[in-house]
Amino acid sequence: MLEKTTRMNYLFDFYQSLLTPKQRSYMSFYYLDDFSLGEIAEEFEVSRQAVFDNIKRTENMLEEYEEKLLLFQKFKERTKILNALRDNLGTDELSMKILPFIDALEKLD
């Protein structure tokens, strides 16, 4: 469950601008603020089932966006490569010159 929550948080972070305001609100309350379906339903004066359906549809949309755009997959690959570069740097002068560039690349994400 934690893995799914983490994945949804990343997908939401990458693709939230493609969602409607209502979808963003429901996902934010559910995944970021840890509200229950009942709490969200009460906040928006809708049924718990309506919130559940909206969140499930939005999760599916986020997965479809990821299938097409691969932003999260590429982020994970970049992170892995940057970590490998950092781990394999020595203490020599050339390594110290490269380190700021690795730091700059990490900040871009």
pTM of the shown model:
0.84
Domains of the chain in start order, with CATH, are 2-69 (1.10.10.10), 73-108 (no CATH)
Q: What angle do CA 80, 107, 58 make, to 5 degrees?
A: 75
pLDDT for residue 67: 98
Percent of the chain with pLDDT over 70: 100
pLDDT at 91 over 90: no
Can you give the C-alpha Rg of the chain in angstroms? 19
For residue 109 the two structure tokens come to 């994400």
Q: What is the pLDDT of residues 28-81, one digit of tens each?
A: 999 999 999 999 999 999 999 999 999 999 999 999 999 999 999 999 999 999
- Which residue from 101, 109, 19 is spatially nearest to 64, judged by alpha carbons? 19
Q: Each residue of 29-63: b (16+ CB within 10 Å) or e?
A: bbbeeebebeebbeeeeeeeeebeebbeebbebbe
